[in-house]
Structure 1
Amino acid sequence: MSKDPKKPSQRQDLKRWDDKGGAPRSHRSRKPHPPSKGEPALYYFNVRTEGGVIEDPEGEVYSDIQAMRVAATAKVRDMIAERDQKGEDRRSWQIEIMDRANQPVLTMMFSEALDPRPSG
Structure 2
Amino acid sequence: MSKAPKHPSQRDDLKRWDDEGGAPRSGHPSHESSLAPEHRAETTLYYLNLRTESGLVDAPEGERHPNLQTARDAALAKAREMIAEGDQKGEDRRGWCVEIMDRANQRVLTIPFANALDPKPSR
Which structure has the larger Rg?
2
Question: Which residue does the alignment assign to 2:101?
Answer: 98
| Matched residue type, 2:45 | L
The CA distance in 2 between the partners of 1:63 and 1:72, in whole Å, is 14
The CA distance in 1 between the partners of 2:48 and 2:103, in whole Å, is 11
Provide structure 2 residue ranges, at least 5 long, that are not aligned to the other structure.
1-19, 32-39
Question: Considering only aligned residues, what root-mean-square deviation do their CA atoms show, in Å?
Answer: 2.7
SS in 1 for 2:56: strand
State the Cα distance separating 1:56 from its structure 2 match.
0.3
Say whether the 8 Å CA contact 1:22–1:101 is kept in structure 2.
no
The CA distance in 2 between the partners of 1:64 and 1:89, in whole Å, is 30
Q: Which runs of 4+ in 1 moved over 2 A?
A: 32-39, 117-120
Say whether the 8 Å CA contact 2:21–2:44 is kept in structure 1.
no
TM-score (norm 2): 0.65
State the Cα distance separating 1:33 from its structure 2 match.
5.2
The CA distance in 2 between the partners of 1:89 and 1:47, in whole Å, is 14
Provide structure 1 residue ranges, at least 5 long, that are not aligned to the other structure.
1-20, 24-31
Q: Which has the higher contact order (CA 8 A, sep 6+)?
A: 1
Give the length in aligned residue pairs. 92
Q: What percentage of residue pairs aligned between the two structures are identical?
A: 58
State the Cα distance separating 1:92 from its structure 2 match.
0.4
Pair 1:64–1:93, CA change in 2 (3 A) = same
Say whether the 8 Å CA contact 1:43–1:61 is kept in structure 2.
yes
TM-score (norm 1): 0.66
The CA distance in 1 between the partners of 2:76 and 2:111, in whole Å, is 9
- Report 1:8-87 matches (<5 A): 21=20, 36=30, 39=41, 40-87=43-90
The CA distance in 1 between the partners of 2:63 and 2:99, in whole Å, is 14
The CA distance in 1 between the partners of 2:111 and 2:89, in whole Å, is 23
The CA distance in 2 between the partners of 1:33 and 1:104, in whole Å, is 12
| Matched residue type, 2:59 | D
